[in-house]
């Protein structure tokens, strides 16, 4: 028989038990410590007081028993039970005594006195309170140096009941006071410990979520928390510098990826992406877009006769003049070598594109001054293509403008020509 494989789910439950806050933990800890301290102190006080009260009660019962024994001596000798009970009542009635029993030498009860007026509940409370106290005092009644009877006095436990109730009340009062003080201390700890930690956590969360490296932890009066905050702020300083440096590097890399290093103009990839977006917008709006394909004249001659540095200076000058002469919203880019291209969105007709091309040609009439003072006069040839009149996509529009530019160079009779 093939054994059956039982697969158990070893994944943890997605629900995570909510952890208590630091403030809650501190409050619980303080409450437990306060309760333990008060309880221990209460037990110690009760034990000491019980020992003292037990000794006092025992001595007091012995003293009362001797007094009663001396008082009832005559009544016992003359066998006057009523006189004995009356004498006992006069002494025991004003003391914390529950019962006085007089027995003869054979152990038989001669007279007994019990405190009247105590209900069942009162007697139960007194008996409960009497448990930790001595069992009573027993003294002999002497006559002519002979024992004629025995006196047994049992305490009422009233004093201990009062002490017990007072002790419980004092303990409860102490607990209330300590809890009140604990609340004040907890608030103090919350202000001095919990709030700074919470503020630090909020800053940490803001840095993690929003990359807010400019946030800082505020000062706190506790030295350890202040040191922690200073270290965290120093770390944020390093992160902020790192982020700023990284942003600059990313911006530099993005610029280098999309712009020509020599002239600073957009490169072919960036220009074609921008041209594609412009054509899409023009299709939606129903407008025309002009494209000028620009090529420098005599650039090879300048490179061969004056050197590459002079050629680079001429290219930079041409790029600057083209950029300054175009309208706001137009874009000029360098495709490579001495080839440039200008994007003219939102044109009304072909004549407007030709006017802009003539203005660009006129900017080249002023000589270009090189670093050594040499002046060079150059010119440009411009091919003009229109969307949607001559082409409907990026590649076709560039080819049309390029073909028009080469026609200008072949003919040599004008600075610009419109594509056919």
Tokens of 55: 């000794």
Please, which residues have CB within 8 angstroms of residue 384's CB and are 6 or more apart in sequence? 290, 291, 292, 293, 350, 353, 354, 357, 401, 404, 416, 417, 418, 419
328-371 per-position pLDDT tens digit = 999 999 999 999 999 999 998 899 999 999 999 999 999 999 98
Q: What is the pLDDT of residue 363?
A: 93
Q: Is the pLDDT of residue 322 over 80?
A: yes
Catalytic residue selected from 230, 338, 372, 393: 338
Residue 289 contacts residue 386 (beta carbons within 8 Å): yes
Q: What is the pLDDT of residue 7?
A: 45
88-142 per-position pLDDT tens digit = 888 887 877 778 889 988 888 888 888 776 666 666 765 665 666 556 788 898 8
259: DSSP letter: B
Q: Closest Cα to residue 262, out of 314, 216, 226? A: 314
Tokens of 356: 């802009």
Residue 61 Cα to chain centre, angstroms: 68
CA distance 247 to 228: 28
Residue 367 contacts residue 375 (beta carbons within 8 Å): yes
339: DSSP letter: E
CA distance 136 to 146: 23
Q: Closest Cα to residue 294, out of 359, 382, 358, 360? A: 382
Residue with tokens 């080469």, as numbered in its chain: 406
Kindly report each contact of residues 86-93 with a partner whose C-beta sits within 8 Å and lies 24 or more positions away, as own/partner: 88/113, 89/113, 91/64, 91/67, 92/64, 92/68, 92/153
Q: Is the pLDDT of residue 6 over 70?
A: no
Residue 274 contacts residue 331 (beta carbons within 8 Å): yes
Query: How does strand 416-418 pair with strand 380-387?
Result: parallel
CA distance 318 to 297: 11
Which of 19-23, 238-242, 318-322 is predicted most confidently? 318-322
Which of 6-15, 53-62, 130-139, 207-216 is predicted most confidently? 207-216
416 phi and psi angles, rounded to 5 deg: -145, 160
**Higher per-residue pLDDT: 98 or 233:** 233
223-258 vs 268-285: helix axis angle to the nearest 10? 80
Residue 198 Cα to chain centre, angstroms: 5
Please, which residues have CB within 8 angstroms of residue 169's CB and are 6 or more apart in sequence? none
Residue with tokens 């072949």, as numbered in its chain: 410
8-54 per-position pLDDT tens digit = 444 444 445 677 766 677 777 777 777 787 778 777 777 777 777 77
Output the pTM of the full model: 0.50
Known catalytic residue at 80: no
Q: How many CB atoms lie within 10 A of CB 357?
A: 25
14: DSSP letter: S
Radius of gyration of the chain (CA): 55
Q: How many CB atoms lie within 10 A of CB 313?
A: 21
């Amino acid at each position: 028989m093939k054994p059956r494989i039982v697969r158990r789910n070893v994944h943890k439950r997605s629900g995570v038990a909510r952890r208590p806050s630091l403030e809650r933990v501190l409050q619980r800890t303080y409450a437990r410590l306060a309760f333990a301290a008060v309880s221990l102190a209460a037990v110690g006080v009760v034990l000491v007081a019980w020992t003292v009260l037990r000794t006092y009660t025992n001595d007091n019962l012995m003293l009362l028993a001797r007094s009663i024994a001396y008082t009832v001596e005559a009544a016992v000798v003359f066998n006057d039970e009523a006189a004995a009970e009356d004498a006992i009542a006069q002494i025991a009635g004003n003391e914390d005594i529950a019962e006085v029993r007089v027995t003869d030498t054979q152990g038989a009860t001669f007279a007994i006195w019990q405190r009247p007026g105590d209900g069942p509940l009162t007697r139960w409370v007194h008996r409960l309170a009497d448990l930790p106290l001595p069992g009573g005092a027993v003294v002999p009644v002497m006559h002519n140096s002979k024992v004629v009877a025995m006196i047994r006095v049992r305490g009422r436990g009233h004093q201990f009941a009062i002490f017990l109730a007072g002790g419980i009340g004092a303990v409860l009062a102490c607990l209330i006071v300590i809890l009140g003080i604990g609340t004040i201390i907890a608030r103090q700890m919350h202000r001095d410990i919990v709030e700074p930690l919470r503020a630090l956590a909020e800053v940490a969360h803001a840095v993690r979520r929003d990359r807010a490296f400019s946030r800082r932890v505020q000062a706190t009066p506790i030295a350890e928390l202040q040191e922690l905050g200073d270290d965290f702020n120093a770390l944020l300083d390093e992160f902020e510098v790192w982020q700023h440096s990284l942003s600059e590097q990313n911006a530099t890399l993005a610029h280098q990826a999309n712009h020509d290093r020599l002239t600073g103009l957009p490169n072919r990839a960036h220009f074609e992406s921008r041209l594609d977006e412009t054509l899409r917008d023009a299709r939606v709006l129903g407008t025309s877009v002009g494209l000028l394909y620009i090529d420098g004249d005599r650039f090879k001659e300048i490179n061969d006769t004056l050197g590459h540095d002079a050629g680079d200076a001429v290219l930079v000058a041409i790029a600057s003049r083209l950029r300054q002469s175009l309208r706001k919203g137009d874009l000029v880019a360098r495709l490579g070598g001495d080839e440039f291209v200008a994007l003219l969105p939102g044109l009304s007709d072909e004549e407007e594109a030709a006017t802009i091309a003539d203005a660009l040609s006129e900017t080249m009439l002023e000589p270009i001054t090189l670093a050594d003072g040499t002046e060079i006069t150059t010119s440009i040839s411009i091919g003009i293509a229109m969307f949607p009149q001559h082409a409907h996509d990026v590649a076709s529009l560039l080819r049309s403008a390029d073909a028009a530019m080469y026609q200008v160079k072949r003919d040599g009779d004008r600075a610009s020509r419109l594509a056919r």
